[in-house]
Structure 1
Amino acid sequence: MSFYRIIGHDMIKSQIENSIKLNRLSHASIFVGEDGLGKSLFAEELAIKILGKNEIKRYVDIIELKLFKNKKSIGIEEIKYIIEEINKKPYEGDKKVIILYNSDKITETAQNAVLKTIEEPPKGSFIILLCEKLDGILDTVKSRCQIYKLNRLNSKDMKKFLNNKFPGLYEQELNSIMAFSDGIPGRAEKFISSSVLKEIRNITIKIFRKLYDEDINITLEFPNYLFKEKDNWEEILTCMLSYIRDVLIYKETGNSDLIINRDKFQELKAIGEMFSFNKLNAIIDIIGSIREKIDKNVNPTLVFDSMLMKMQEV
């Protein structure tokens, strides 16, 4: 098995395969990256490689722990269960794998509790931690793990992923999905299967059209919709940036072939005629600052209200 389900991340795949060949695979690994980049796929396939299996399926010697629904963190009780499980002998062979999803959500107390197990796991035991950010992982834990950082895919790998996963896409569809997903395969899959994300594309371009009309207060028209889709805030902001990039490119070159969101060309052309380079760049800065605020858990309602007001003021 050679990570055949995973497109891109070639250096990481090669590094792991070499470690396994040389019998130098770390007993504890961290896969870090944004949601949708393939951390779970890496964990599943690595776990199966460790067990010496070839078929993708559930195995009794792969123990998984995920953040419970409606809980914000993984606490000491869940970690005690994992410590107990890892100290049991494997059932089928001589190896066992523990996969800890949402590892950056494990409380500090619980991380300290599992630290000794990470330092000195039972013979034949391997621990794989998955997280979106390393900030939530204690330095003492990180220092004892091999860290693999997953980055967004380049356009070539994204196109390959989409053609493999969804053969038969029209070129226009392909370009729109690539623009929306911004190098994240999981986001592309969500876009294809979700009518909500298609609606986000339509609403966000409508916001830009309305921004130009100074007689309309968009802070009255759009906040309710944005708040309703607050769980998709990353997709909303990514979509906005994608449109602005297309507008800037077209204004600069006049070449519509360079636009990614080609199905929205007429709207983008109109937006380019409405806004100056300075205003478009100012909106990019506003979106960047909004993203930072949401990352810091500022109330989404206040954030979106602020964003729309600032956009209309520039």
Structure 2
Amino acid sequence: MERYEIEAFLTLAEELHFGWTADRLHVSTAHISKTIRRLERRIGVPLFERTSRRVALTAIGARLRQDIGPAHEQIQQAVRNAIAAGRGIVGVLRVGFFGSDSALFLHTVSDAFRRQYPDCQVEIVELQLHNGLSMLQTDQVDVELARYPADHPDLACGPVLFTEPKVLAVSSQHPFARRSSLSLEDLAQVKLLRNPATMLEVWDEFHSPRHTPSGRPIEHVPGSETFLGQLALVGAGKGVYPEGGRAMRFYVRPDVTYVPFHDAAPLEWGLVWRATRETARVRAFAHTAHEVATAINEPDRP
């Protein structure tokens, strides 16, 4: 059955009047009559008894109404729910994060967001290196705070929220640990811990390149599926790991030293979500995050 046939049948079954049915559906009475006749021909039996005085369901018509009525209402409710989720800032918004520093920022954003939209609950979800993209793709989280770039045809990105210097995590026993700074060319002398294969290729190549800027090859060795696992390997002298400067404050370890790069561009952070899953909740949260980040970055603005 076509959608318009279902609507015509169920409305007529409720009104039991062709004129009133036509008025409710904003069509002509002749259109309703034609639609019902076509439906009855397809089914092979009358669905309504018609006289000059009354319209009534036949036994088969009543059974058909009983069978398809609840399913039609369920579909209509699903559509109403989708519209409410897309337009209204209500329900639950699940926001993913990598690392303690990101969690601190997101909780600040969440508090500000809830003050503006008390009917929308925010769930902060911890992600790992191996599942960040899949959690987004399978709708286990609605939006993530991630390090850019996030170039992917399925993803949409908000504005840059904050930046941090790029550093190299090395064993405290490594010769680089005694350096005040490093060059990206120095990566040709060490073994970079490999990220999980499930990460965005453009992200992995940007943060853990296969070659230095001058084209010298960089050796990669197996790493861990979690950031803490990567740091444990670094501390054990199994390799080095490029990271952001905020790790120097949030992930202090006696076996790991963070050495800044003097020739690397700052790393950028922002919110990422699936373009086809963008809702009013996502847009509002991204806007709030930008306001919070601006206030943090410019505390003395008027």
- Structure 1 or 2, whichever has the larger Rg, is 2
Structure 1 or 2: larger strand share?
2
| TM-score bracket, shorter-length normalisation | under 0.3
**TM-score when normalising by structure 2:** 0.26
Q: Which of the pair has the greater relative contact order for Cα pairs under 8 Å at 6+ separation? A: 2
Structure 1 or 2: larger helix share?
1
